Structure 1
Amino acid sequence: MKTPADLFAFLDSHAIPHTTIEHPAVFTVEESKSLRGTIPGSHTKNLFLKDKKGALFLMVAQEDTVIPLKSLHTLVGASGRFSFGSADLLREVWGVEPGSVTPFGAINDTECRVNVLLDAAMLRNEPLNYHPLQNTMTTSVSRDGLMRFFAATGHAPRILDFEAAV
């Protein structure tokens, strides 16, 4: 699996500007709120999910977005309601530990098993902040940079209004 250094080299090789700040480990949105004022831009939450047939999804939204897990599967055309992917599956497919879920895990998903779902509201902000494969750092990129990253990893994210499914 890739390291943060591998990720930064990948971003550099694709001319995707990024900045990274180191900080104490944060495992939840609540814990990460202690970093406000230190790191500008949109702070996010990332959910690694699977549907009833085992299809995998990463949902990425602003930290305060209500994600209606009971009905969101209908919006995205998933097979039945979502459940959280196991820690083992997260490590195997996305290459990160629980608490470090990030869109940047796409660098490890060379088979493109994960369907990436981005909330439209999040994409109205800049910069966008995510863990660079571990939760002791936060990396900031532009919207364009994020989309170029996904294109370079072979992922075609869908942009949705998560709150429309409420």
Structure 2
Amino acid sequence: MTDTRAALDAMLAELEITPITIEHPPVHTVEEALPYWSALEGVHTKNLLLKGAKGGLWLVCVPTDRRLDLKALAAHVGAKKFSFASGETLLEALNVVQGSVSPLALINDKANAVQLVLAADMMSKPRITVHPLVNTATVSVTSAELLRFVEATGHRAEIVDFDRLPAS
């Protein structure tokens, strides 16, 4: 992971993105992270790697307090049904372990196999916090910087207004 973190830091520098970074003990859940995040400006996120019933991977990044209707989201993005990707799939697709996934892990998706979904309400805020490939640090970047980074990885973010999705 150290090599990929160095590659991430280099790419952020190349894109002239200087995140605000805090280091903290390993966290595996939002609840564990909240005490550390209180010192960091931005919408705090939860990130899920979802697998479509007929294939395909989606990385969904939403505010921590957002409840997700996975059936409605699957219908919106054209997937039959979603399940949570396994830790093995997460490692193969994004080269991160559970608890460390974020849109920044798209740097490791050279095959462009993962589709990114970002919450519209989150993207309308000035800053967003995510893990930088490890669960021992959190970074705060602007919404525009996050989109610039995603584009630089060759991905396209689908920004979804979850409040407007028809309930399943």
Mark yes or no: TM-score above 0.5. yes
Q: How far did 1:30 drift?
A: 1.3
Structure 2 residues without counterparts, runs of 5 or longer: none
Does structure 2 retain, via aligned residues, the 8 Å contact 1:93–1:108? yes
| Equivalent residues, number | 165
- Give the equivalent residue in structure 2 for 1:18: 19
- Give the equivalent residue in structure 1 for 2:152: 152
Q: How far did 1:16 drift?
A: 1.8
- Give the equivalent residue in structure 2 for 1:63: 64
Q: Distance in 2 between matches of 1:163 and 1:54?
A: 26
Deviations 1:7-33 (A, max 9, x none): 111100111221211001111111111
Matched, 1:106 2:106: yes
Q: How far did 1:134 drift?
A: 0.4
Matched, 1:136 2:136: yes
Matched, 1:45 2:46: yes
Q: How far did 1:76 drift?
A: 1.4
Deviations 1:13-68 (A, max 9, x none): 11122121100111111111112431111100000001111100000011101111
Does structure 2 retain, via aligned residues, the 8 Å contact 1:128–1:141? yes
AA in 2 matched with 1:128: I
Does structure 2 retain, via aligned residues, the 8 Å contact 1:66–1:163? no
Q: Distance in 2 between matches of 1:121 and 1:14?
A: 25
Q: Secondary structure at the match of 1:25?
A: coil
AA in 2 matched with 1:73: A
Q: Distance in 2 between matches of 1:37 and 1:150?
A: 26
- Give the equivalent residue in structure 1 for 2:94: 94
- Cα RMSD (Å) of the superposition? 1.3
Q: Distance in 1 between matches of 2:140 and 2:90?
A: 22
Aligned sequence identity (%) = 44
Does structure 2 retain, via aligned residues, the 8 Å contact 1:18–1:139? yes
Q: How far did 1:71 drift?
A: 2.2
Q: Secondary structure at the match of 2:11?
A: helix
Q: Distance in 1 between matches of 2:163 and 2:5?
A: 32
Structure 1 residues without counterparts, runs of 5 or longer: none
Q: Distance in 1 between matches of 2:8 and 2:164?
A: 33
